[in-house]
Structure 1
Amino acid sequence: MTTTRSLALILACVFAFSRHGHAQCVDMVATLDDGQLMQSRIALIDRATPAEQIRILAYIFEIDQTGGLLLRHLVDAARRGVPVKLLIDGIGPEPHYPFEDELIVALHEVAPGVELRIFHPRSDVVELSHRMHDKLFLVGDTAVIGSTSIWDESFRNWLSERDLMVSGDARQDASSLHAMYQHFALFWNSPQVVRPEPEKFLQVASPYRVSQGHATLDPVRIRYWRERLQAPLDGAARATDLAATDTPAASDTPNDPAWTPIACERLRYVHDWPDKRSPGTLQDMLDAFDTAQHEILIINPYLILVPELREALERKRREGVHVILVSASLASITQEFPAVGRAYANDLPGLVNAGIEVREYADRENRMMHAKLVLIDGHRYYLGSFNFDSLSARLNTENGLWIDIPEDGLDPLQDSVAYFLRNSSSVSDANGRLLADPDARCRAVGCGGAWRWVTVLIRGFL
């Protein structure tokens, strides 16, 4: 990564001084495909110095092979003196926090430099539907944003993701890095966040542990996590873990992304407030659609449009704007949750009748598409966490980056768009008629029967 980044930095400096003879703010952007997701993050963590910071917002941080490996590298960084702050959404496999209590205690003992906070723990029933869906991975002067959560589904070739790596000077107000650090601080210090207190865990009875036959915490589990967090990471172990985690042939140079310098004025980082106040990312998306003159392309796994989004797209279609929606396949959506598949199938006739081109993604590996991209008029991109459903529009906090590519500029995302279009097919024929009946398709993949009626009742929560 260092060589290519150095060359890109030279280009960025030339670019910054070339137009007006004085310095302007320039960030560097690189697309990460599925084969670069893990190794790029580990490289950032391992090169971090005590003078830098590691700041992570994670919707999912599962302690499976992926999350366990990343946490192990974060522990190493903290023990080198690198400040690490990890903020995780409260939904997870455990009854109170997304990490089990014994892991939190062991993490506090082994690496007290890792600070952990939780956004709306699951025990906060009132806010159960309000999730932090943001995805932000900040290390020093570099960030990773996009669609990827920290779990095996994203890193072991089960989902097709797309992330961006962004590098800049966070000390410059105009840099997107500055906005990202502000975003992290806003959430880290918000009243929606709680700090687990591991120093008290051993003194407090845990109802979950009582159900497992322990009066308090399980000392065997604490010892297990302590040993796992301190296990050596030698070169062979790193190579084995990385090979098992990343897509084998997705990239020839997984640690060497292609950097593109872009003027900061052409980048705009967006995010919601922790309390999901208006105007937020939904209004930002609607405002962007209003500017479209020729084409709107949306690549998103969940196309269950709230009325405002659907009305905006249909209005632009009536104005002559070509609207293309690329969805995950009905089969993959239904496999995740049948009601989501049913809601999407219910909407298909109306979308196609409105003149909107709907396509579904399918690749040779049978992965579900999970990337979240928007392209307006061929030059204005969005990449981030926003889904085109009620959860992102109404309940969950989201984040992303808008990129306006100059007419003669390099386009870091054109290959990604081409890939998803190439691996998708239209659900309608040249005359705008559906190729297959949505009801019949649902019956075939598992969203038929009772799901037709259940979905009507719960659509607002999908």
Structure 2
Amino acid sequence: MRRPGNPADFGVGSATFFRWRWLAAVALAGLLAGCSLPSLEGRSQSKALPAAEARDTRLGRAVGVVTAQHPGLTGIHSLEDPREAFAARVQLAQHAERTLDVQYYIWRNDTTGHLLLEALHSAADRGVRVRLLLDDHGHAGLDEELASLDAHPNVEVRLFNPFLFRPFKPLGFLTDFSRANRRMHNKSLTADSVITIVGGRNVGDEYFGATDGVLFADLDVLAMGPAVEQVSSAFDAYWASASAYPIASLVTPPSAEALTAFRHRTALVERSEFAASYKQAVRDLPFYESLIRKDYSLVWAPAHLLVDDPSKGLALAEPEQLLLHHMTEAVGVPMRTLDLVSPYFVPTDAGTDYFVGLAVRGVRVRILTNSLAATDVLAVHSGYARHRQRLLAAGVVLYELKPDPTDRVVKAAPREDSRRMPGSSGSSGSSLHAKTFGVDTERVFVGSFNFDPRSARLNTELGLIIDSPELAAAMAQVFEVRVPRSSWEVRLDPESGALRWVDGIRQPLSVEPMSSWWQRAAVRLLELLPIDWML
């Protein structure tokens, strides 16, 4: 019996069948190339909650009491634990009274993704205005759910740099590569314009420790104080940008049956045993009560938002409008130490010159990135590997994360942009995902920025520079104690100059640990290709 869809059903051989499929895809791409995005004329306009109104909310009054004791400073609470990071987001949605401004690159169609969508929906039912801005590359399978949410009178959903052909978005890379290759990588959630969460986490089970396999122990910070106004202003700029399209102009409005099905699916998720532990985490987090009691654990420090201008999404930003330009100003020149964590570390020749220059001047530079065994994108590893010997020769200290460390500094993640080159897939084990650095044990950066050309030139990014010796010292301590236990240190053999991988337990290894010959061969081949600008 023939299976439906077998090429023989059409009276053609398999080679002919798949050739016609390819030609049909190319023809469809050609047709789509002649299409254009919908007009933004008539798009609604809105702004973040004005400061006076924000102060008059329940959250605003609670925050006002504690911030008054630290004028000009931003209160920072690190969200390292994935359950706490999830619960904090839900609690902000639960306690918001006027507005929720939410911006993410990835929003998974899974348990925590649905629970957070329902938290936004419940807030809207209470009268909270919800603005949800998502990159259109990171929410596969959620068009119907998002359109249903958008149908709520208090919710508006917009998509950044959207794809016209919804059933198969990758066609957009064929028809409009220059725009489609630029994604909004920002992550923030702001309640009543007085409290925000920013950092590296997207929304999905992996990011909140809800899976049985791959986990990301990422890093976010919850912030209150002057930096929140900057996050709100940045959200307004992205919301009103030429790249933000109302989902209603791209996706068919949901029918009554679709709305009913959406509520039914949400109810099933909420009743699941899997979801119960996350609901309990929300109940167990004493965030709001601690804020009222004024005993919530906060580090008070000057903090400043670094963010790309949204015009970067259309390749229209000037150099002085980019995060990287402002990062140079905010960080200054490290004088003593630079500790950097980057999952996709592709320094390029220019970046290598920078790190080498620091090391030559006596600055201790320590970098933690993925090992070949841990990375999920071999092309990215190739963009890093070609620079290792030069970095090490200058005195830079390189650590490469083991795929399944027992003392987990960070947990695993697939490459967020998921645009893997053919044959570039790497390990399915643990891989680094946090994005942070510390300078001179005086200040730290926490955000979405990867030290790679994609973050620098293509994707939009944001993060906080925090002038806190306390947080910077804590990061230095991680490099002193936890990183060496969870990673291989890469060194140069003093006699041959070849690379060696050392973990303090076994004899140094002369090949990349826990990697296969084909992975190593693929990396060497990819090193020959001029692809750094895409990584």
Matches of 1:161 and 1:87, distance apart in 2: 21
- Secondary structure of 1:369's aligned partner: coil
Q: What is residue 213 of structure 1 aligned with on the other side?
A: none
Contact 2:130 2:156 in 1 (8 A): yes
- Secondary structure of 2:520's aligned partner: coil
Name which of 303, 308, 318 aligns with 2:350: 308
Matches of 1:36 and 1:200, distance apart in 2: 34
Deviations 1:265-287 (A, max 9, x none): x2111100112221212223344
Q: What is residue 6 of structure 2 aligned with on the other side?
A: none
Name which of 451, 459, 462 aligns with 2:532: 459
Q: What is residue 227 of structure 1 aligned with on the other side?
A: 264
Matches of 2:347 and 2:229, distance apart in 1: 32
Matches of 1:93 and 1:325, distance apart in 2: 31
TM-score (norm 2): 0.69
Residue 322 of structure 2 corresponds to residue 259 of structure 1:
no
Contact 2:407 2:482 in 1 (8 A): no
Matches of 2:236 and 2:64, distance apart in 1: 27
Q: CA deviation at 1:441?
A: 4.5
RMSD: 3.4
Contact 1:156 1:244 in 2 (8 A): no
Q: What is residue 292 of structure 1 aligned with on the other side?
A: 334
Counterpart amino acid of residue 111 in structure 2? Q
The 1:387–1:244 alpha-carbon spacing in structure 2 relative to 1, beyond 3 Å, is same
Q: CA deviation at 1:300?
A: 1.4
Q: CA deviation at 1:63?
A: 1.8
Q: What is residue 384 of structure 1 aligned with on the other side?
A: 447
Gapped regions of structure 2 (runs ≥ 5): 1-59, 165-171, 291-295, 412-430, 502-508
Counterpart amino acid of residue 197 in structure 2? V
Q: What is residue 208 of structure 1 aligned with on the other side?
A: none
Contact 2:189 2:196 in 1 (8 A): yes
Q: What is residue 104 of structure 1 aligned with on the other side?
A: 146
Name which of 363, 369, 377 aligns with 1:321: 363
Q: What is residue 218 of structure 2 aligned with on the other side?
A: 161
Deviations 1:424-461 (A, max 9, x none): 23222796973247865585386322342234322221
Counterpart amino acid of residue 352 in structure 2? R
Q: CA deviation at 1:161?
A: 0.6
Matches of 1:445 and 1:57, distance apart in 2: 41
Mapping of residues 176-215 of structure 1, within 5 Å: 176-197=227-248, 201=252
Counterpart amino acid of residue 159 in structure 1? F
Matches of 2:273 and 2:142, distance apart in 1: 28
Q: What is residue 4 of structure 2 aligned with on the other side?
A: none
Q: CA deviation at 1:26?
A: 2.9
Matches of 1:361 and 1:382, distance apart in 2: 20
Mapping of residues 431-450 of structure 1, within 5 Å: 434-436=499-501, 440-441=512-513, 443-444=515-516, 447-450=519-522
Counterpart amino acid of residue 275 in structure 1? S
> How many residue pairs were aligned?
410
Q: CA deviation at 1:53?
A: 1.2
Gapped regions of structure 1 (runs ≥ 5): 17-23, 169-174, 203-216
Residue 106 of structure 2 corresponds to residue 47 of structure 1:
no
- Secondary structure of 1:261's aligned partner: strand
Matches of 2:146 and 2:139, distance apart in 1: 14
Name which of 155, 161, 164 aligns with 1:114: 155
Residue 482 of structure 2 corresponds to residue 423 of structure 1:
yes
Deviations 1:61-97 (A, max 9, x none): 1121121110011100011100100000110364xxx
Matches of 1:235 and 1:180, distance apart in 2: 35
The 1:275–1:108 alpha-carbon spacing in structure 2 relative to 1, beyond 3 Å, is closer
Matches of 1:107 and 1:46, distance apart in 2: 17
Q: CA deviation at 1:138?
A: 0.6
The 1:421–1:429 alpha-carbon spacing in structure 2 relative to 1, beyond 3 Å, is farther
Identity value in percent: 25
Q: What is residue 89 of structure 1 aligned with on the other side?
A: 135
Q: CA deviation at 1:152?
A: 1.7
Q: CA deviation at 1:218?
A: 8.9
Which structure has more relative contact order (CA 8 Å, sep 6+)? It is: 1
Q: What is residue 203 of structure 2 aligned with on the other side?
A: 150
Deviations 1:309-328 (A, max 9, x none): 22222111121111111113
Please say which structure displays the higher CA radius of gyration.
Answer: 2
